[in-house]
Structure 1
Amino acid sequence: MEGKNEIRKITAAEFFPAVVHMKTECWRLVQICATCIEGGYEMSYSFCLRYDMVTLRLEVAEDEEVASITQIYPCAFLQENEAEQLFGVKIRTIKPDYKDKLYRIDVETPFKKE
């Protein structure tokens, strides 16, 4: 059985409605990945349904906030806290928010490009 693997670039305005749509269609959240790009971050949210995977890819400016998806996918809290603490992504309303205490590290946002 062969599944599809699709990456969809989305805007900030499309992000939350797209996540709600994935939930209503019974897609599972399988990973959230943050990486630094010029001027900010690239956030990839991957969802699976049977053998299919869809990744919603969102570019975020360094000073821009991203809405947490923990109200929709509670399991997202670990990966959102990680993106916030390690990269410096501004994610609002994470439940629970570890407030940069998920990892015991001495360096603030060690993966953020300066």
Structure 2
Amino acid sequence: MEKIEVNIDEVKNKIKEFYKPDLWHFVCLNANDIEGTCKLQWIFSKYEEKENFTVFECDVAFNATVPTITDIIPSAIMSEMEIVDLFGLKIQTIKKGLYLDETSQQTPLKEKNGN
């Protein structure tokens, strides 16, 4: 697995430079709340190679706005909507409501330590 650390301001351009739709499959956008900071990982696998992964990774504040990659990879909308619902992160143009309705516990995967 290759990890590429990026900052939030460059992640979209780095993914755009990297992504070749005939070579790479977008697996998912992963998020973890680590002591009040959100660690994001955009995970790609190479077609026909089981264990060839490339992960773009960055840490962001929960009040930051994350760029969407749906204009590069339209199917990323599902992962982005999931992160918005489950962590309360702001992603450009992405609205809440994929999994959670108004009566659901909000941001269920975000730690409840005052953040």
By the TM > 0.5 criterion, same fold? yes
CA deviation after TM superposition for structure 1 residue 24, in Å: 4.0
Report the equivalent of 2:4.
8
Segments ≥4 residues shifted beyond 4 Å: none
Q: What is the RMSD of the two structures over their aligned residues, measured on CA atoms?
A: 1.6
Unpaired segments ≥5 residues, structure 1? none
CA deviation after TM superposition for structure 1 residue 8, in Å: 1.5
CA deviation after TM superposition for structure 1 residue 14, in Å: 2.2
Q: Match of 1:100, SS?
A: coil
The number of equivalent residue pairs is: 106
User: CA–CA distance in 2 between the matches of 1:14 and 1:103?
Assistant: 29
Kindly provide the CA deviation profile for residues 36-74 of structure 1, in whole angstroms up to 9, marking residues without a partner as x.
022320110011223221000111111111001001000
Unpaired segments ≥5 residues, structure 2? none
Identity of aligned residues (%): 30
Question: Contact 2:30–2:40 at 8 Å: present in 1 too?
Answer: yes
CA deviation after TM superposition for structure 1 residue 28, in Å: 1.9
More helix by share: 1
